[in-house]
């Protein structure tokens, strides 16, 4: 920050990629706005914290996990003691790094971080990526007025909708410019519709079975397929002649911007990050919500579906017949795909990372101003 010491920020968003990824994207944006910023991530040994956070280049401080049960059970009786230990550990980290603000994204690590920040009188900034907020963010939203959400429909106290922090590789993606190179990368033809299939990082058995079962119908209508199965799933490559449209099978793709650039349409689950990324790049999608967690994934997809940029199909209804009778007519209609792409783009929010980073810097500046006046 001009003329002052670097801002000292602690981010808390652990366990799953859905919490960690927006936290790291925010941290990257903060560094772009203020290169001197000292950013520390809080995490636990559970989940993906120790893998994903160091890979992004940020120091990680571990505290004991304190998961909050969704319903009364034996684990609930152990929660107060675990949470107390976790809050104390979080306070020790805040003291050690001389934190000026805590920015939370939910997950196991968020609740102790919020409580530790409140005990120390530090400002709290909350971001909720999901359509249905978790327990930690619902509690924290009543501790602070600095609350941000993915969409206006998210019910959270003091909320301002800004979207989800995404990587510049996604938000700045020029799909038409990268299209030819991206298709070459995956062994796809430069012309003809491409359907991208993915079930997220772990894959989705129902989606895999439906699309692979419709391989002959897709081939007959000239549709190419980029099928990302997930590392734990095996999909047999369909029989095809060299003259047939490619059906490319991959267990995992590291740099998803290339897959997005190669595709004309996507069929996938509707996790919050997936919905945000596909809207940001303007990709029409058929969403198949995970039929668990109280229908949360269906809620994530609703804004872009309402905007006309996506289709919705229940997990119980996704099968080769649905692909043949409902999806293929869309895939082979360039005019409809173009309209859906425009509607998807209109539902996107590509600058959430910068908006959130700017607000956090403003919050630190205001806190310093208050402290300065108090010392006069």
CA dist 135 and 164 (Å) reads 19
Phi/psi of residue 276, each to 5°? -65, -45
201 annotated binding-site participant: yes
pLDDT of amino acid 78: 57
User: What sign does the CA torsion over 157, 269, 173, 309 have?
Assistant: negative
210-247 b/e (C-beta count within 10 Å ≥ 16 → b): bbbebbebbbeeebbbbbbbbeebebeebeeeeebbbb
∠ CA(268), CA(270), CA(272), 5° rounding? 135
The three-state secondary structure class of 3 is coil
H or E segment to which residue 81 belongs:
helix 74-97
Contact status, residue 197 vs residue 211, Cβ threshold 8 Å: yes
Q: How many helices (H) and strands (E) does the chain have?
A: 16, 13
Alpha-carbon gap, residue 240 to 121, rounded angstroms: 65
Q: Which residues contact 235 (CB under 8 A, 6 or more apart)?
A: 208, 212, 227, 229, 249
294 in Cβ contact with 134 (< 8 Å):
no
- Contact in structure between 340 and 278 (CB atoms under 8 Å): no
Q: Is 55 flagged in the annotation as binding?
A: no
Residue 219 annotated as lining a ligand binding site: no
Instruction: Report the first-to-last Cα separation within the chain, whole angstroms.
Output: 22
Architecture of domain 8-166+350-375: 3-Layer(aba) Sandwich (3.40)
Report the candidate in 61, 132, 121 with the shortest Cα–Cα distance to residue 93: 61
Is 375 annotated among the ligand-binding residues? no
CATH 3.40.50.2000 at 172-347, yes or no = yes
- pLDDT tens, the chain, 376 aa long: 666 899 999 999 877 778 899 999 999 999 999 999 999 999 988 778 888 899 999 999 999 887 665 554 455 445 677 788 999 999 999 999 999 999 999 888 899 999 999 999 999 999 999 988 988 899 999 999 999 999 898 989 999 999 999 999 999 999 999 999 999 999 999 999 999 999 865 558 899 999 999 999 999 999 999 999 877 767 777 777 888 999 999 988 989 999 999 999 999 999 999 999 999 999 999 999 988 765 788 999 999 999 999 999 999 999 999 999 999 999 999 999 999 999 999 988 889 999 999 999 999 999 988 877 765 5
The pLDDT assigned to 274 comes to 93
Per-residue burial over 249-276, b = 16 or more CB atoms within 10 Å of its CB, e = otherwise: beeebeebbbbbbbbbbbbbbbbbbbbb
120: annotated binding-site residue? no
Which two three-digit tokens encode residue 200?
A: 């997220």
Q: Could you give the CA distance from residue 72 to residue 68 in angstroms, rounded to a whole number?
A: 10
Is residue 206 marked as binding?
no
pLDDT at 76: 45
pLDDT at 72: 45
167 has binding-site annotation? yes
């Amino acid at each position: 920050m001009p003329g002052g010491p670097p801002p000292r920020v602690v981010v808390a968003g652990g366990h799953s990629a859905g919490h960690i990824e927006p936290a790291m994207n925010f941290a990257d944006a903060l560094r772009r706005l203020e290169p001197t910023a000292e950013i520390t991530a809080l995490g636990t040994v559970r989940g993906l914290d120790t893998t994903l956070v160091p890979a992004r280049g940020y120091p990680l401080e571990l505290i004991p996990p304190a998961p909050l049960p969704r319903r009364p059970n034996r684990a609930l009786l152990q929660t107060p003691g675990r949470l107390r230990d976790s809050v104390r550990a979080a306070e020790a980290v805040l003291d050690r790094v001389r934190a000026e603000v805590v920015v939370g994204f939910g997950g196991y690590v968020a609740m102790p971080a919020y409580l530790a920040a409140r005990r120390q009188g530090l400002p709290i900034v909350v971001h909720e990526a999901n359509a249905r907020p978790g327990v930690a963010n619902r509690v924290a939203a009543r501790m602070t007025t600095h609350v941000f959400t993915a969409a206006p429909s998210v019910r959270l106290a003091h909320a301002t909708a800004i979207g989800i922090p995404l990587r510049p590789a996604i938000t700045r993606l020029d799909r038409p410019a990268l299209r030819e190179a991206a298709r070459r990368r995956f062994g796809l033809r430069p012309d003809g519709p491409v359907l991208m299939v993915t079930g997220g990082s772990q894959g989705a058995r129902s989606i895999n079975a439906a699309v692979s079962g419709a391989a002959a119908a897709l081939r007959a209508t000239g549709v190419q397929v980029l099928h990302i199965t997930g590392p734990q799933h095996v999909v047999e490559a369909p029989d095809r002649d060299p003259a047939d449209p490619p059906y490319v099978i991959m267990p995992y793709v590291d740099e998803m911007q290339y897959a997005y650039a190669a595709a004309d349409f996507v069929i996938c689950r509707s996790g919050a990050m997936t919905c945000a990324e596909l809207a940001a790049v303007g990709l029409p999608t058929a969403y198949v919500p995970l039929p668990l967690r109280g229908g949360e994934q269906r809620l994530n997809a609703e804004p872009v579906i309402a905007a006309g940029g996506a289709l919705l199909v229940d997990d119980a209804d996704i099968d080769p017949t649905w692909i043949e009778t409902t999806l293929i007519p869309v895939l082979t209609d360039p005019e409809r795909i173009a309209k859906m792409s425009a509607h998807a783009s209109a539902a996107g929010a590509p600058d959430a990372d910068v908006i959130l980073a700017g607000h956090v810097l403003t919050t630190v500046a205001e806190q310093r101003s208050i402290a300065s006046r108090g010392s006069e």
